[in-house]
Each structure stands twice: as structure tokens, then as C-alpha cells.
Amino acid sequence: MAHPDRFLLTGVMGWPVMHSRSPLLHNYWFRRHDLAGTYVPLAIPPEGLAAALRALHPLGFAGCNLTIPHKQQAMTIVDEVDTVARSIGAISCVVVRPDGSLAGGNNDCYGFIHNLRQAQPGWRADAGPAVVLGAGGGSRAVCYGLLQEGAREIRLVNRTFARAQGIASDFGGPIKALPWAQRHDALDGAAMVVNATSQGMVGQPALDIRLDKLPKSALAADIIYIPLETPFLAAARKSGNRTVNGLGMLLHQGRPAWKAWFGIDVEVTPELRALMEKSIPAHEG
């Protein structure tokens, strides 16, 4: 449990970082648990990442989250990388140990799976084929989570086919890489489709995919949360599919971080979700 006579410090390192909703999320939990502490955005350029991470201990930080572009580089800086982060190939959370050493983990897959479970309690990874669009860090977390949950078939589609093949080779099992030209047909018979690309995010073009072959019973998920409903999710909803946006992924990945930093179990409440949704302006979502 957190020490009562110490001001608790955590934050998120990124470049840029001021757009992050993480401070709003974590500072809600500080208030909710009546703790003296804060979570701050830390704008750290890539060349300053090693020095910034090493400064966490002398400054009294319990740890930090990492966002773009630091998730891969941090793996070469921290003292220990856990199995999940090593498998995904990225670190999303750093814990400062009492001796000053840094432990790296990845909570993105936890966030993705628990978002699905909360939004769709009846969801099962083995219900049928899952289609994952994209082959970046978010896609690796999604695929890892689905595999851990027992997915029997994952159709991984990406513009650069070699990157999809790379994930299929790294993870093995039921992942089949498909070229981008097959994205529309890949939806045939799918139980779930996940957009793990940046397409549909504010300032980005919409995801270019036809949903005519996606069964009405399939779940459509997006890891994007700005806007709350991407054009992809809007089209899926209009087709009669259940949809899940990416906000809950952000919320739930914070829970194991708090357990690691402070030994506290935090909850994703309706009040928290409403607070976060309200923070996303109308023009963004």
C-alpha cells in the first residue's frame, strides 16, 4: 500500500504528449482513493528517454506509462522486461523498484481484453474467426491478447504484407497473414473484426473497408478513442453489428499499473467513463 507521508508521483512519457487523456484518468483515481499525489504528462524527445527514465527514481516517481514513440526504445533501457512485453515487443508501463531498478511491462493487451469483457460480457475469443487490421504495436497487443484468450483463428491484414507475416511468424499458432487486397473478403464468416490501424483517428482518413461480408452477429472493435465513434464503427453500427470503441482499452490498462505502482486495486466505473467521454470534444467525437 502507498506510504501516507510521501507525495505519490507517476506520469506518461511521450513526444508529443499533451493530447494524452491519461492524466485525467489517473488523477481521477488519486481523488477517488483520497491520496496525495499526481500523474503528469512528460514531454520527452526520443534522445532524452534514457535520461528521463533513469531520473524517475531520484525524483521519487513510482513509475510511468509510455506512449508513442517510446514503447520500443524503452526495452533497451529498463533493467527487466516481463514476458508479456517481450512477446509484444513494446513496453507500456515502467515500475520503479525500491533499489532504483526499472521493470518494464505491457498492459495494452490487458486493457483490450478487459474492455471487451466489460462492454460485451458474453464475448468469447473462440467464438469464431477474428480479423485484425494493422500490424503495428497496437495490433501486436491485440493479437497477443486474443491468443491468450484462446482464439482459434486470427486473420491478420496489413498494407505492408511483410509486417503481418512478421507477427504471424513471431506469435505462430492460429495467425494467418493476408495481403491488404483481401481485407474485404477476410470478413466473410468472422465473429469479430478489430481496427488496430490509425485510420479513422482524428486527422487521419477513414478506414477503407467494405462491411458487406461481415456477419451481422460479428463484433466490431476499434482501439481508437478519439473520436469515440470512428467511421468504421459508425458503419458497423448502421449495419447492425455490436461495436466497442477504444476508450475502455485506455481505462482498463491503467488498472494493473496502479496495482504495480501502489498496490491498489482501482475500478473502471460508469462515472470515470463519463468523465473521460466528456473530455473528448464534440468536434473530435
Active site residues: 71
CA angle 84, 89, 91 (to 5 degrees): 70
Q: Cβ(244)–Cβ(193) under 8 Å? A: no
Instruction: Kindly list the distances between the CA atom of residue 174 and the CA atoms of 117, 156, 177, 180, in Å, as whole numbers in the listed order.
Output: 22, 10, 10, 19
Rounded CA-CA distance 146/141 in Å is: 9
Q: Which three cell numbers stand for residue 244?
A: 466497442
Nearest to 95 by CA among 253, 256, 249: 256
Q: Which string of DSSP letters, residue by residue, matches 1-37?
A: ---TTS-EEEEEEESS-TT-SHHHHHHHHHHHTT-SE
Rounded CA-CA distance 225/199 in Å is: 12
Rounded CA-CA distance 131/156 in Å is: 6
Q: Which three cell numbers stand for residue 198?
A: 490509425
